[in-house]
Each structure stands twice: as structure tokens, then as C-alpha cells.
């Protein structure tokens, strides 16, 4: 299951630096000029999960495999992007393809880092990006309204009328400077605009890229950003992208631990960012645990057992018979699958079972 979180923001806010720190299989050029990134860089990110490490310590498998996310480094947007400024249409198209947005905002002062927008202003920077995405969505909505309106006028096309009403609500919401995500469309209403792949209908996580001295406490700029997004219910991750990039570049675990100890860090801030992005995508994790492999698997919240089995192999879903399930807490408490079985903690679940985050599962199937 391939899901992507796209890193966006104005030029020179630290997007590519963040991408390089977080990605395990790709690197992006990070330079002090506009549009250093043209084509989007795509990288894989291991999702940190203490439960996976704990299971591995109990099972002692031949290998341990974390679940992963795809992170996309998208070129910096500028004011006027919705009208094509700065290759805006191309970059907005890249955003359209991702499932969630990681919005990086500059919250540090450094005269050596180019900034064309004037004084540091995280709220203003956020509004520039928001406005460009909203304007592009408004253009998409209005174009579809023109097509649907003709059918709705006929009078007998109830579906067209319903679609037109939803599009009208979207248009009015965007004209107020609000994102579609905050409109709270239900599943059926979302289907009416699904073909538009609206940019502002994606969940957003904000990264306040601060200076080294503010990485633990934040600063006045990160506080301004927090206050600005409070009404959205969005989370703000405070981090120093340069420090995170240095940690990521270290090959030795010992060196990383010493470096983090020096900066009074218990873990890289990237770990929290990745976990938050994972939750933002409405994802859960289940595990398979055996001598050959302990592995984490990604599913959407609410998936039933056959759907969960399909991420291992489609045949598992087609020929699903049953699932053997152990709760993570029980596995840790008793220490093994055999002990869980002996203590009545291994359950047999059928096709209607909704998989819970942390379940340890073994599927029975026949094709």
C-alpha cells in the first residue's frame, strides 16, 4: 500500500534539508536559491515503532522489517503559483498526487539564507501557500460547476443537482479563504468532488523549522504559527532541520547517541514527525512475528481481516479462511506465541473482524 506525504513550503525554508534527513533511499539537492528542486524527489521512510523492536527482542528473528511511508520533496511554491508563477502549475500538480501535506515554515533568522518575502513572518508564509492552493481549487471547482450546471438545469438529473449543491458549498467555502478539509464533507459528498483531487482537501502537518537554540522550547515565530493553526486542529512539530540532517548523516549509532546526548535529545525530532504523518494518514499497524521475520504492516483504520491480509499478498484476501490474532500487550506479557496460546490469548477471527492497531496476526488461506 503506497501512501505519500508531500513536503511543501516557500523557497529556502528547509524542505530539501528535511527530505534528506528523513529519506533512507534518496537525496535532494539543498541550496540557497529559489527552485533548487524542480522535479519532485521521492524517498522511503522507515516508520519508527518501539513495539516492533520489542517484538524482535522476544522472537529473535532473522530479520526485522519496519513499515514505510513515501515522502515527496516538492519544489518551493511562490505567490502567484496558481496563475503559473514560478512553474506553479507543475508544482501544484505534484501536490495533487500526495495523500497528506507536510508544510515546512521558516521560524528562524539567518541573513545568510536567502528570503525574498521580507521579514520573517510564519503566519504570512502559511497564508501565501494556503491562498495559492485555495485559488487553484476554486478554479477546479468552478470549471466543474459549469459542466454540471447544464445537466442540473434539465430538472430530471438528481445526481447532477446534488453535485452542483456540493460544488456550490465548496466554492463559497474557498471564497472565504478556507480549505476544503475544514468543510467536513462526508464520504458521499467527497465522492462528488473526488475527480478534482482538491489540494486543500488533504490533511496538513506543520513543521516549524527553528534555529538550534530553539529546538527544545520553540521561539516567538513557532508560537505565532501555533496560534495561527489552532482553529484547524493541526499539529505543529518544532525541529531544527539542520540538526536533524546531521544526525541522519551519521553512520555510527554510537555517534548519533553521543550527538543527541550533547543536544539533550532522547530521539530525533524526525521520529515524532514520521509518527505524526503516519497518524495523519489515518493508518494503523499490525505485525507478523516468526523466527524468519518480525514485520510491521500498514493498513487503513477500520480495515477488516481479509483487507489487512491483502497487503501481504492479494491471494491472502482472495482465499481468506481465518486469522489467528494476539494483542500486542498479551504477546509482551507472555513472551511468545506458544505461551499466549497456552494462556488462551490467541483468538480465531473471521472475515468481519476489524483489525486493531498493534495486533499480531497469522492468516490462514486457501487458493
Would you say 45 is a known binding-site residue?
no
User: What pTM does this model have?
Assistant: 0.85
* Predicted local confidence at residue 254, as pLDDT: 93
* Predicted local confidence at residue 150, as pLDDT: 76
Cα gap 46→174, rounded to integer Å: 36
* Predicted local confidence at residue 74, as pLDDT: 82
Would you say 12 is a known binding-site residue?
yes
* Fold exhibited by the domain 4-118+203-279: Rossmann fold (3.40.50)
* Predicted local confidence at residue 33, as pLDDT: 36
Domain 302-365 coded CATH 3.10.20.30 = yes
Cα gap 318→328, rounded to integer Å: 26
* Predicted local confidence at residue 32, as pLDDT: 36
Q: What is the 3-state secondary structure (H, E, C) of the chain?
A: CCCEEEEECCCCCCHHHHHHHHCCCCCCCCCCCCCCCCCCEEEEEECCCHHHHHHHHHHCCCEEECCEEEEEECCCCCCCHHHCHHHHHHHHHHHHCCCEEEEEEEECCCCCCCCCCCCCCHHHHHHHHHHHHHHHHHHHHHHHHHHHHHHHHHCCCHHHHHHHHHHHHHHHHHHCCCCHHHHCCCHHHHHHHHHHCCHHHCCEEEEEEECHHHCCCCCHHHHHHHHHHHHHCCCEEEECHHHHHHHHHCCCHHHHHHHHHHCCCCCCHHHHHHHHHHHHCCEEEEEEECCCEEEEEEEECCCEHHHHHHCCCHHHHHCEEEEEEECHHHHHHHCCHHHHHHCCCCEEECCCCECCCCCEEEEEECC
Would you say 343 is a known binding-site residue?
no
Would you say 233 is a known binding-site residue?
no
* Predicted local confidence at residue 12, as pLDDT: 82
Would you say 72 is a known binding-site residue?
no
How is residue 57 written as a grid cell? 527482542
Would you say 214 is a known binding-site residue?
no
Angle 266-269-271 from CA coordinates, rounded to 5°: 90
Domain ranges of the chain: 4-118+203-279, 129-200, 302-365
Cα gap 247→239, rounded to integer Å: 13
Residue-wise pLDDT tens digits, 306-345: 999 999 999 999 999 999 999 999 999 999 999 999 999 9
* Predicted local confidence at residue 39, as pLDDT: 61
Q: Which CATH architecture has domain 129-200?
A: Orthogonal Bundle (1.10)
* Predicted local confidence at residue 34, as pLDDT: 43
Residue ranges of the chain with per-residue pLDDT less than 50: 26-38, 86-88
Amino acid at each position: 500500500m503506497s501512501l505519500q506525504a508531500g513536503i511543501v513550503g516557500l523557497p529556502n525554508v528547509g524542505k530539501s534539508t528535511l527530505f534528506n534527513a528523513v529519506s533512507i533511499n534518496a537525496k535532494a539537492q539543498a541550496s540557497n536559491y529559489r527552485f533548487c528542486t524542480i522535479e519532485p524527489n521521492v524517498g522511503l521512510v522507515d516508520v519508527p515503532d518501539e513495539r516492533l523492536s520489542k517484538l524482535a527482542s522476544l522472537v529473535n528473528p532473522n530479520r526485522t522489517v519496519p513499515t514505510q511511508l513515501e515522502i515527496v520533496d516538492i519544489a518551493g511554491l511562490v505567490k502567484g503559483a496558481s496563475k503559473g508563477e514560478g512553474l506553479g502549475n507543475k508544482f501544484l500538480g505534484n501536490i495533487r498526487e500526495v495523500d497528506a501535506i507536510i508544510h515546512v515554515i521558516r521560524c528562524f533568522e539567518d541573513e545568510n539564507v536567502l528570503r525574498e518575502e521580507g521579514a520573517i513572518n510564519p503566519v504570512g508564509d502559511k497564508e501565501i501557500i494556503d491562498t495559492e492552493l485555495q485559488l487553484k481549487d476554486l478554479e477546479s471547482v468552478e470549471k466543474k460547476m459549469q459542466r454540471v450546471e447544464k445537466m442540473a438545469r434539465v430538472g430530471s438529473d438528481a445526481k447532477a443537482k446534488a453535485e452542483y449543491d456540493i460544488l456550490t458549498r465548496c466554492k463559497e467555502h474557498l471564497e472565504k479563504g478556507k480549505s476544503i478539509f475544514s468543510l467536513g464533507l462526508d464520504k458521499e459528498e467527497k465522492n462528488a468532488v473526488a475527480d478534482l483531487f482538491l489540494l486543500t482537501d488533504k490533511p496538513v502537518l506543520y513543521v516549524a523549522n527553528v534555529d538550534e537554540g530553539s529546538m527544545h522550547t520553540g521561539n516567538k515565530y513557532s508560537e505565532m504559527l501555533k496560534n495561527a493553526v489552532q482553529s484547524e486542529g493541526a499539529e505543529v512539530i518544532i525541529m531544527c532541520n539542520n540538526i536533524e540532517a546531521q544526525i541522519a548523516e551519521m553512520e555510527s549509532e554510537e555517534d548519533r547517541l553521543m550527538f543527541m546526548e550533547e543536544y539533550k535529545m532522547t530521539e530525533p525530532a524526525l521520529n515524532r514527525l514520521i509518527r505524526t504523518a503516519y497518524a495523519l494518514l489515518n493508518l494503523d499497524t499490525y505485525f507478523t512475528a516468526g523466527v524468519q521475520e518480525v514485520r510491521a504492516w500498514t493498513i487503513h483504520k477500520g480495515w477488516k481481516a481479509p483487507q489487512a491480509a491483502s497487503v501481504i499478498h492479494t491471494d491472502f484476501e482472495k482465499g481468506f479462511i481465518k486469522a489467528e490474532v494476539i494483542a500486542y500487550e498479551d504477546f509482551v506479557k507472555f513472551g511468545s506465541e506458544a505461551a499466549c496460546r497456552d494462556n488462551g490469548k490467541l483468538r480465531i477471527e473471521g472475515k468481519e473482524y476489524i483489525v486493531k492497531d498493534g495486533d499480531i496476526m497469522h492468516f490462514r488461506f486457501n487458493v
